[in-house]
């Protein structure tokens, strides 16, 4: 595979065309047939999960939720390029990457409901809970990567934000810090064209978001975010560079979210035209990757149906677990804030418990 990170920042990396044909064989990643099938399985599974989650949110059975359909290649192919010991620092839309990195789905559902147990990441699962503050995870990723470097560990911090996140101050601070100290970090900006309702052209005068890497002195690359193989190829090279001590990379995945920004009242028809949505539907990452695999006799209708069924069953089971988990309590919230409670919190807990006894 030829290198993709030596190209100029405004270059655009693509492996598969929308019809599933290969446009650049030199960039085809070295993935086995089983790995290709597994990546496709995850994408179909996630599309099914997302569709169910949208319905559950409308029914009031989930809380905050940011739809992901359209961004499966950007999310899942990039995570697929990491190792289990690498660290994922997600934004609030990046739930699928965390689940496939080991975070139990039922905890993701509890997180969406605001339940504290959702953020109690199990031992050995190398993620932070999804960050709700736009761009804050970029600074955190540089901190995690600095820890890896100081400890001499061959691990990588991989973080995500949206195009809107690249307009935040934390984004520039985090990327600059990583560049200055040559940290093992990969910054992925998922450019889904709109920061809620604000289009990219109103956020920045830069031709690409990838070229913002130039100011930090690090490689920047723009990739077709609807192309799973291109996303994997670019991310794998960036992760390998970081692991080898060659420093961070900024990746812009050009993608599109088919649904609203979140299920909290956003109406994309107010700021997106049907023509624009139709243009991006033609580039659907699942359709593209499916056509490629079918041309290699690696994906069948039976495989598709199995992934869909597994996705439905996983959501059903995760919802049952979330529903049966004990309700969050104020004492539990206070107890979990510190290993040893300071005097003020002890007093607050005692005051709360006393008020409950009075009632």
Residues annotated as catalytic (active site), given as ranges: 257, 261, 271
SS3 for the chain is: CCCCCCCCCCCEECCECCCCCECCHHHCCCCCHHHHHHHHHHHHHHHHHHHHHHHHHHCCCCCCCCCCCCCHHHHHHHHCCCCCCCEEECECCCHHHHHHCCCCHHHHHHHHHCCHHHHCCCCCCCECCCECCCCHHHHHHHHHHHHHHHHCCCCCEEEEEECHHHHCHHHHHHHHHHHHCCCCEEEEEEECCEECCEEHHHCCCCCCCHHHHHHHCCCEEEEECCCHHHHHHHHHHHHHHHHCCCCCEEEEEECCCCCCCCCCCCCHHHCCCHHHHHHHHCCCHHHHHHHHHHHCCCCCHHHHHHHHHHHHHHHHHHHHHHHHCCCCCHHHHHHCCCCCCCHHHHHHHHHHHHHHHHC
């Amino acid at each position: 595979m030829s290198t993709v990170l030596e190209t100029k920042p405004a270059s655009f990396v693509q492996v598969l065309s929308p019809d599933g044909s290969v446009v650049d064989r030199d960039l085809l990643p070295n993935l086995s047939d089983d790995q290709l099938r597994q990546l496709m399985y995850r994408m179909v599974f996630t599309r099914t999960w997302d569709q169910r989650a949208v319905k559950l949110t409308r029914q009031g059975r989930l809380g905050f939720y940011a739809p992901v359909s359209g961004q499966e290649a950007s999310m899942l192919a990039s995570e697929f390029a990491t190792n289990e010991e690498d660290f994922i620092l997600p934004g609030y839309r990046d739930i699928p990457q965390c689940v496939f990195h080991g975070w139990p789905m039922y905890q993701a559902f509890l997180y969406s409901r605001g339940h504290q147990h959702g953020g109690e990441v199990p031992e050995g699962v190398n993620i932070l809970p999804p960050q709700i503050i736009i761009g804050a995870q970029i600074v955190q990723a540089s901190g995690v990567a600095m820890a890896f470097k100081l400890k001499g560990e061959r691990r990588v911090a991989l973080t995500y934000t949206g195009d809107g996140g690249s307009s935040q101050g934390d984004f520039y601070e985090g990327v600059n810090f990583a560049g200055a100290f040559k940290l093992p970090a990969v910054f992925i900006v998922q450019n889904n064209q709109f920061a809620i309702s604000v289009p990219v052209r109103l956020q920045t005068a830069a031709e690409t978001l990838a070229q913002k890497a130039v100011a930090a002195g690090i490689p920047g690359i723009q990739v077709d975010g609807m192309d799973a193989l291109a996303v994997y190829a670019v991310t794998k090279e960036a992760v390998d560079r970081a692991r080898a001590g060659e420093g961070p990379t900024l990746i812009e995945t050009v993608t599109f979210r088919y649904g609203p920004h979140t299920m909290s009242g956003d109406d994309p028809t107010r700021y997106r035209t049907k023509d624009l949505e139709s243009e991006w539907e033609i580039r659907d990452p699942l359709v593209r990757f499916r056509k490629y695999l079918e041309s290699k006799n690696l994906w069948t209708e039976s495989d598709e149906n199995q992934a869909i069924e597994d996705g439905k069953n996983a959501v059903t089971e995760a919802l049952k677990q979330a529903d049966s988990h004990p309700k969050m309590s104020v004492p539990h919230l206070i107890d979990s804030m510190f290993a040893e409670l300071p005097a003020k919190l002890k007093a607050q807990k005692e005051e709360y418990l006393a008020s409950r006894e009075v009632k």
